[in-house]
């Protein structure tokens, strides 16, 4: 594979996809306010989601660092990471970003942000995850297929 083609060809960096979806959702909620949750529920649930997402992202970053493979999905992957959070999920980074997004939406009382999350997840699924998986299948063959068969996509 050439250096230019040895990458999944994702539509955009996933953090930008999540940030864009959240910005749209929060913007819609500012323009068209939605229902609110009781403060204790909102703050408790929101922070639990944000902290869980941050812990998951830190775990993903540590696993990639140990494996010495790039974090950026636009770069060439050097190995199939199956340790740390990757024992339980093929996409702990995106799960972590989803939890953080949901936590911010809860803390902000932004129902529109949850609706925008649905669109965000479709973009991540089709524009990032599907492309990454095809790339990993091509690059690592049976090794990745075995991992894929035994490990769930999200949880």
pLDDT tens for residues 111-123? 999 999 999 999 9
Q: Which run of H or E residues covers position 3?
A: none
**With bands split at pLDDT 50, 70 and 90, how would you rate the model's confidence at 25?**
very high
Torsion, Cα 153 141 132 58, to 10 degrees, reads: 60
pLDDT tens for residues 135-147? 999 999 999 999 9
Q: What is the mean pLDDT of the chain?
A: 94
Question: Are the CB atoms for 8 and 73 separated by under 8 Å?
Answer: yes
Q: Residue 35 and residue 42: Cα distance in Å, rounded? A: 12
Q: Residue 135 and residue 13: Cα distance in Å, rounded? A: 16
How confident is the model over 14-30, as a mean pLDDT?
97
Q: Residue 13 and residue 71: Cα distance in Å, rounded? A: 11
Question: 């769930």: which residue's tokens?
Answer: 152
Question: Are the CB atoms for 97 and 14 separated by under 8 Å?
Answer: yes
| Claim: this prediction has a pTM higher than 0.85 | yes
Question: Are the CB atoms for 94 and 127 separated by under 8 Å?
Answer: no
């Amino acid at each position: 594979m050439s250096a230019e083609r040895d990458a999944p060809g994702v539509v955009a960096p996933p953090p930008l996809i999540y940030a864009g979806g959240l910005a749209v959702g929060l913007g819609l909620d500012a323009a068209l306010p939605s229902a609110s949750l009781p403060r204790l529920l909102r703050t408790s649930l929101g922070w639990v989601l944000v902290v869980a997402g941050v812990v998951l992202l830190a775990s993903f970053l540590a696993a990639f660092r140990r494996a010495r493979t790039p974090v950026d999905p636009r770069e060439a992957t050097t190995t199939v990471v199956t340790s740390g959070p990757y024992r339980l999920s093929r996409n702990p980074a995106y799960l972590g970003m989803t939890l953080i997004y949901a936590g911010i939406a809860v803390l902000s009382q932004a129902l529109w942000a949850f609706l925008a999350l649905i669109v965000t997840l479709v973009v991540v699924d089709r524009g990032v995850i599907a492309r990454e998986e095809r790339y990993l299948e091509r690059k690592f063959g049976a090794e990745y297929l075995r991992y894929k068969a035994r490990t769930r996509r999200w949880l």
